Chains A and B, each alone.
Chain A
Amino acid sequence: MSRRRVRKVGNAVALLLSAVATLIGLACLGAILWTLISRGVSGLSIALFTQMTPPPGSQGGLLNAIYGSVVMTVVGILIGAPVGILAGTYLAEYGSASRLSSIVRFVNDVLLSAPSIIVGLFVYEVLVLRMGHFSAIAGAVALAIIAIPVTVRTTEDMLRLVPQGMKDASTALGAYPWRTITSIAYPAARSGIVTGLLLAVARVSGETAPLLFTALNNQFWSKDLGAPMANLPVVIFQFALSPYKDWQQLAWSGALLITFAILVLSVIARLIVSALPGGKARR
């Protein structure tokens, strides 16, 4: 074969392989979604949303787990979002070029990818041991710690998208920086910051590892934040590994619920971002 031919064939083979790689990636997503649908849909019923997690061998639902997941996610975001938004504000507006900011930014990036089970151990050490028992609030704090880095990152990025001219105009009118930030920058970056919160919700609502030894689980209905509380991920974990068919079915239905909730949240977040001026227009 001539050298030219070798190069052309090599090119074709390499490009074909890259297409195959993409197909493999898409097939994995497809296979997982298909498994969830085919195994989870048959368990979808009204009872899923109206009954408690059952003892082995009987019918039941996931009401307490769904409730617990929602409560802990909401409380976690309520704790994490203010910290994340304020820290992101500091990075974008006050200390944008300072040495402290670059350290905080770096540490935040590390936290963003840190293993979530470490966060669980940390909260166990500082909260669960002190309180003497597992509790929903400990679970919520663990989720908050996971939500903070996501919020910091998006808040900073979105505030940086606000045109400097708008902020300068406010400053020229005699406004202090805090006034400019709260009255000009926040409203201008609102949809971006909301997107960050949605992404944070999507990220924490599927987290299992940090809840295993903070919120633990609870077979019964509980509204007490100071007591262990059921939650979807841990219920899925326990039920899927159990030998009981009823429990396994509930695990699949719960997995279906949680995955689609998260995928819908992620898609909505992406749609908001792509509608932003100067957002991810390149994609």
Chain B
Amino acid sequence: MAGVDAKRAARQRSGERYFHTATLAAALIVLALLGGVAVSLVHGAWPALSHFRLGFLTREVWNPVTDQFGALAPIYGTLMTSLLAMLLAVPIGFGVAVFLTELCPGWLRRPVGTAIELLAAVPSIIFGIWGLFVLAPILQRHVQPWLIEHAGVLPGIGRLFQGPPFGIGVLTAGLVLAIMVLPFIAAVMRDVFETVPDVLKESGYALGATTWEVIWQVIVPYSRVGMVGGIMLGLGRALGETMAVTFVIGNAHRVSASLLAPGTTISASIANEFTEAVGDLYTSSLIALGVLLFLITFTVIALARFLLLRLDRRALSNV
């Protein structure tokens, strides 16, 4: 009898050892993934990086025939489309969050919140074909001609709105991106707003403040860090988004002053050209673009997560 019990105890002990090791190994795999991504990308990009050196960052040329590659146009496109997306999505996302937390009647809160979250679940390729077949023609026919006629003649910013209305281009990509990141920004801001203690808001109201004054002078200052974190998280999405942009950007490797002109982004260049790339330097240059994207998005996302760290993790479980 005693022998059986000892065996059982031994089995339990070794079970503990195996299980503990397995969970630890899995946790280490998560770490290794990030490290592996960094190492393998740099390895793949090395031929291009050592060949073009820093000039890779500053040259606009992208010519597979002569094997000359520079990342300026994709970098510019990535930053410009993301900037446009944030200019639109941040105020709208803020509005949605304000509506959901302060304005919305209780019975409407859940359905509207869920609808906004479902917008985040729609795959990015759907935004892409919608942008190409629905949004781009509307812009081309109605919005862009108006912009060219009225905004294109303004001094200074007029240059942004000149040229023919292609429909697809940097502006369209920025718009589609804005719609894509809107639910992320709105969801994080809502979660952050909900962490504001009721007592603070009630003190504001007790002093006679209007709803808007409470929002702007109590809720926003209290949740500033979290809001910036949410915005950065949205920015990280926008910078790395691939399919939605690939459809509507036009894939032209040049830096145009006009927002209406076709351009390209880092991710769109990779998606469009990677499988067709012949020659080691071409492939390697595309992977080098991937390294740049990795560096940019990693910095932005890490910063965002750092800012959001102090929030209750469960408050943000769906982003």
Contact between B41 and A122 (Cβ–Cβ < 8 Å)?
Answer: yes
Using CB atoms, name the residue of chain A closest to B18: A178
- Determine if A86 is an interface residue (Cβ-Cβ < 8 Å): yes
- Determine if A36 is an interface residue (Cβ-Cβ < 8 Å): yes
Contact between A113 and B44 (Cβ–Cβ < 8 Å)?
Answer: no
Contact between A176 and B33 (Cβ–Cβ < 8 Å)?
Answer: no
A149 to B33, CA, bound (A): 10
Please indicate the chain A residues that have their CB under 8 angstroms from the CB of B128 in the complex: 237, 240
Contact between B297 and A29 (Cβ–Cβ < 8 Å)?
Answer: no
Contact between A110 and B302 (Cβ–Cβ < 8 Å)?
Answer: yes
- Determine if B164 is an interface residue (Cβ-Cβ < 8 Å): no
- Determine if B242 is an interface residue (Cβ-Cβ < 8 Å): yes
Contact between A208 and B12 (Cβ–Cβ < 8 Å)?
Answer: no
Please indicate the chain A residues that have their CB under 8 angstroms from the CB of B313 in the complex: 157
**Complex partner residue of B15 from A115, A179, A240, CB under 8 angstroms:** A179
Please indicate the chain B residues that have their CB under 8 angstroms from the CB of A153 in the complex: 317
Contact between B121 and A262 (Cβ–Cβ < 8 Å)?
Answer: yes
Report the minimal beta-carbon distance from B133 to chain A, rounded to whole angstroms: 8
Using CB atoms, name the residue of chain A closest to B24: A90
A237 to B244, CA, bound (A): 10
Using CB atoms, name the residue of chain B closest to A107: B34
Contact between A10 and B267 (Cβ–Cβ < 8 Å)?
Answer: no
A152 to B27, CA, bound (A): 9
Report the minimal beta-carbon distance from B250 to chain A, rounded to whole angstroms: 12
With contact pairs A90-B24, A118-B37, A157-B314 given, residues A11 and B212 touching in the complex (Cβ less than 8 Å): yes
- Determine if A216 is an interface residue (Cβ-Cβ < 8 Å): yes
- Determine if A172 is an interface residue (Cβ-Cβ < 8 Å): no
Interface centre among B19, B128, B270, B305 (most CB of A within 10 A): B19
Q: Give the dominant DSSP class at A's interface.
A: helix
Contact between A182 and B19 (Cβ–Cβ < 8 Å)?
Answer: yes
- Determine if B211 is an interface residue (Cβ-Cβ < 8 Å): yes
Q: How many residues from A make CB contacts under 8 Å with B?
A: 97
Using CB atoms, name the residue of chain B closest to A106: B305
- Determine if B94 is an interface residue (Cβ-Cβ < 8 Å): yes
- Determine if B103 is an interface residue (Cβ-Cβ < 8 Å): yes
Report the minimal beta-carbon distance from B90 to chain A, rounded to whole angstroms: 11
Interface centre among B122, B125, B237 (most CB of A within 10 A): B125
Which B1-19 residues sit within 8 Å CB-CB of chain A?
12-13, 15-16, 18-19
- Determine if B127 is an interface residue (Cβ-Cβ < 8 Å): yes
- Determine if B23 is an interface residue (Cβ-Cβ < 8 Å): yes
**Complex partner residue of A21 from B92, B216, B287, CB under 8 angstroms:** B92
Report the minimal beta-carbon distance from B120 to chain A, rounded to whole angstroms: 9
With contact pairs A21-B99, A28-B119, A28-B182 given, residues A118 and B293 touching in the complex (Cβ less than 8 Å): yes
Q: Which of B54-62, B108-116, B143-151 contacts A (4 or more CB under 8 A)?
A: B108-116
With contact pairs A86-B22, A118-B290 given, residues A266 and B34 touching in the complex (Cβ less than 8 Å): no
Q: Give the dominant DSSP class at B's interface.
A: helix
- Determine if B52 is an interface residue (Cβ-Cβ < 8 Å): no
Which B209-268 residues sit within 8 Å CB-CB of chain A?
210-213, 215-216, 233, 236-237, 239-243, 247, 267
With contact pairs A86-B22, A108-B30 given, residues A117 and B210 touching in the complex (Cβ less than 8 Å): no
A137 to B154, CA, bound (A): 55
Using CB atoms, name the residue of chain A closest to B109: A283
With contact pairs A18-B99, A255-B126 given, residues A110 and B298 touching in the complex (Cβ less than 8 Å): yes
Which A161-182 residues sit within 8 Å CB-CB of chain B?
175-179, 181-182
Please indicate the chain B residues that have their CB under 8 angstroms from the CB of A11 in the complex: 210-213
A179 to B302, CA, bound (A): 36
With contact pairs A29-B115, A121-B290 given, residues A115 and B239 touching in the complex (Cβ less than 8 Å): yes
**Complex partner residue of B297 from A86, A114, A270, A282, CB under 8 angstroms:** A114
A20 to B247, CA, bound (A): 28
A31 to B297, CA, bound (A): 30
Q: Which of A46-54, A59-67, A93-101, A219-227 contacts B (4 or more CB under 8 A)?
A: A93-101
A266-279 CB contact bits vs B (8 Å, 1 = yes)?
11001000000000
A236 to B22, CA, bound (A): 39
With contact pairs A7-B210, A94-B24, A115-B240 given, residues A251 and B123 touching in the complex (Cβ less than 8 Å): no
A214 to B36, CA, bound (A): 17
A115 to B23, CA, bound (A): 26
Contact between A87 and B29 (Cβ–Cβ < 8 Å)?
Answer: yes
Please indicate the chain B residues that have their CB under 8 angstroms from the CB of A78 in the complex: none
Report the minimal beta-carbon distance from A73 to chain B, rounded to whole angstroms: 12
| Across the A-B interface, the 7 shortest Cβ-Cβ residue pairs | A115-B240, A206-B123, A21-B95, A86-B26, A178-B19, A90-B23, A11-B210
List 13 A-B pairs, Cβ < 8 Å.
A18-B95, A19-B99, A25-B92, A87-B29, A87-B30, A110-B305, A117-B293, A157-B317, A178-B15, A178-B20, A240-B129, A263-B121, A283-B113
Identify 15 new A-B residue pairs, CB closer than 8 A, beyond the known A11-B213, A115-B293, A212-B271.
A7-B210, A14-B212, A22-B96, A28-B179, A32-B126, A113-B233, A113-B305, A114-B37, A115-B294, A117-B271, A153-B317, A154-B317, A176-B15, A258-B123, A259-B122
